[in-house]
């Protein structure tokens, strides 16, 4: 808890006021990733492999953008920084630990951007949401990666939507998930989507007690790879059950 508190305090002044409420989530993710490092290793490597495959064969490697860069554990950041002229990392929060690691590596071609990628505020303002519209202003864009972000957008939007009953369209969650998928597919450059699409709660005897579609009926592009991510192994949330997510990658 002391380490988490220090990380929170170090990240707070580095984060814009509008996004400071999300620091706690990022710190909690950092903490769980450390506890579950062995169980998450395969998922993280498969995520990195998907991004590597998407980048392979590109005629030009000028600018790469990673949406939902997070802890960088699931992103082959060293290779992207080596191969691309510029790498832009976009997320709500860039933890102080991530900033420190990048500074130590001296990757001078990496840029950090804080941004809400959900499109919620656009929809609330009565506009057609284009959460990835800003990418049209990025010069020399050759690769865009959405890294284990889409289901998190869905969860965040669902919480906001439920808290603002009657203020948003009934299909807010589905529309904003679809806007992300459509935004990626509409890009003129190479893109890669890595996302968890479903979860299951499974007891120690292997019986499934709960399942849910994390994309709320929105279909992702045809997957080129798929795997299971043990998000919460036995003992992480309960000694009686584990939580597994199904992950797909498309590029």
DSSP3 helix / strand / coil % (the chain, rounded to 5): 40, 25, 35
Q: What is the pLDDT of residue 167?
A: 83
Of 239, 140, 220, 228, nearest to 180 (Cα)?
220
27 in a structural domain: no
Q: What is the pLDDT of residue 128?
A: 94
- What is the domain range of residue 94? 37-250
CA dist 72 to 11, 90, 134, 170, 210, Å?
Answer: 16, 11, 22, 34, 30
176 in a structural domain: yes
80 in a structural domain: yes
13 in a structural domain: no
20 in a structural domain: no
Classify residue 223 by its DSSP letter.
P
What is the percent of the chain with per-residue pLDDT over 90, rounded to a whole number? 96
70 backbone φψ class: left, alpha, beta (φ>0; ψ -120 to 50):
left
Spatial separation of the C-alpha atoms in residues 169 and 172, rounded to whole Å: 5
Burial of 247 (0-12, 13-18, 19+ CB in 10 A): buried
Q: Total domain count for the chain?
A: 1
Q: What is the pLDDT of residue 166?
A: 75
DSSP alpha helices (H): ranges in 94-149? 96-105, 120-124
Rounded to the nearest integer, the mean pLDDT of the chain is 96
Q: What is the pLDDT of residue 51?
A: 98
Residue 3 has pLDDT above 90, yes or no: yes
157 in a structural domain: yes
The torsion angles phi and psi of 54, rounded to 5 degrees, stand at -65, -35
What CATH number is associated with residue 100? 3.40.50
177 in a structural domain: yes
Residue 165 has pLDDT above 90, yes or no: no
Between residues 167 and 49, the one the model is more confident about: 49
102 in a structural domain: yes
């Amino acid at each position: 808890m002391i380490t988490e508190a220090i990380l929170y305090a170090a990240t707070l002044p580095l984060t814009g006021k509008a996004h400071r409420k999300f620091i706690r989530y990022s710190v909690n993710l950092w903490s769980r990733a450390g506890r579950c490092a062995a169980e998450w290793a395969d998922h993280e490597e498969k995520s990195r492999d998907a991004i590597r495959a998407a980048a392979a064969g590109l005629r030009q490697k000028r600018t790469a953008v990673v949406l939902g860069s997070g802890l960088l554990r699931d992103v082959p950041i060293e290779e992207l920084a080596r191969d691309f002229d510029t790498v832009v990392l976009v997320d709500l929060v860039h933890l102080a630990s991530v900033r420190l690691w990048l500074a130590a590596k001296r990757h001078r071609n990496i840029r950090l951007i804080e941004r809400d990628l959900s499109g919620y505020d656009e929809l609330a303002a009565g506009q057609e949401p284009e959460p990835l519209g800003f990418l049209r202003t990025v010069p020399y864009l050759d690769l865009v990666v959405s890294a284990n972000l889409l289901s998190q957008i869905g969860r965040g939007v669902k919480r906001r939507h439920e808290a603002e009953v009657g203020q948003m369209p009934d299909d807010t969650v589905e529309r904003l998930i679809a806007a992300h998928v459509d935004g990626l597919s509409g890009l003129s450059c190479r893109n890669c989507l890595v996302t968890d699409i479903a979860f299951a709660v499974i007891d120690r005897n292997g019986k499934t007690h709960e399942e849910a579609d994390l994309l709320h009926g929105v279909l992702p592009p045809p997957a080129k790879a798929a795997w299971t991510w043990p998000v919460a192994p036995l003992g992480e949330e309960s000694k009686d059950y584990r939580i597994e997510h199904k992950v797909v990658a498309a590029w």
